[in-house]
Amino acid sequence: MENLHAYRLLMNSYLSCPYDLVRSKESLQCAKKISLQNFINNVINGFFSKSCKEHHVLALLKMVDTYRRDLKRSVFDSTMEYTIALATITDHFLQITCDYIEEGNHTYVEHDKGLIINQYNEDQYSVKKLLTEVDEELSLLYAKEVCVELQKSFRCLPDVIELIDMMNGERHLYFPSKDGSDQSDFIYYSRPLVEKEINRICS
């Protein structure tokens, strides 16, 4: 039971910030991604916690201004790098927010995971996640874990999972197979990492 609880905490943490689990050898680079991801999550959670009437660009910019103060400047190589990263992410925030306002869809955020859910009806929904950086391996593993977790909540798979790289604006689309046959790889690849972290948490 203790391990199951630790697993749930770990998976929520992974969906919120995957870089915290898949640590690279470049610890400072990893710390930078984690700090930026926490900033992105806070802005998104803060924005979508507002009423629909307050979903406008000015509200977003206020969120950016509020949470940028929590960014750890020590993980950046220079003030210029910090400024460029903040400006780049803010620019992509504005593009995404403008798209959302124009679409006017029924959208909400799972706050503990930072997943943006757009639900059309009981059986159809899409998922969007804003990530600091996305590479091909992370994209595949992350999307599969989103499927595993959300199927428990919705009892059906999302139509599409969109992962947005906030540093370059690229969008990675993942279309889950309805029979779930493409999700088993996540367990295989992630199990050693998961077990290692669970043992650390429970020790």
Give Cα 139 distance to the centre of its chain: 11
DSSP designation for 112: T
DSSP designation for 203: -
Residues of the chain with pLDDT below 50 are: 1, 25, 184-189, 191, 198, 201-203
The sign of the torsion formed by the CA atoms of 198, 22, 125, 155 equals: negative
Query: Residue 188's pLDDT is what?
Result: 42
Give Cα 105 distance to the centre of its chain: 19
| Count of CB atoms situated within 10 Å of the CB of 2 | 9
Per residue in 96-128, pLDDT tens? 888 777 666 677 788 778 898 887 777 788 999
| Count of CB atoms situated within 10 Å of the CB of 32 | 23
Q: What's the pTM?
A: 0.84
Q: Residue for token digits 């009806």?
A: 121
Query: Residue 183's pLDDT is what?
Result: 53
Query: Residue 137's pLDDT is what?
Result: 75
Query: Residue 187's pLDDT is what?
Result: 44
Query: Residue 194's pLDDT is what?
Result: 52
Contact 72, 35 (CB under 8 A): yes
Query: Residue 55's pLDDT is what?
Result: 85
Calculate ∠ Cα 175-176-178, nearest 5°.
130
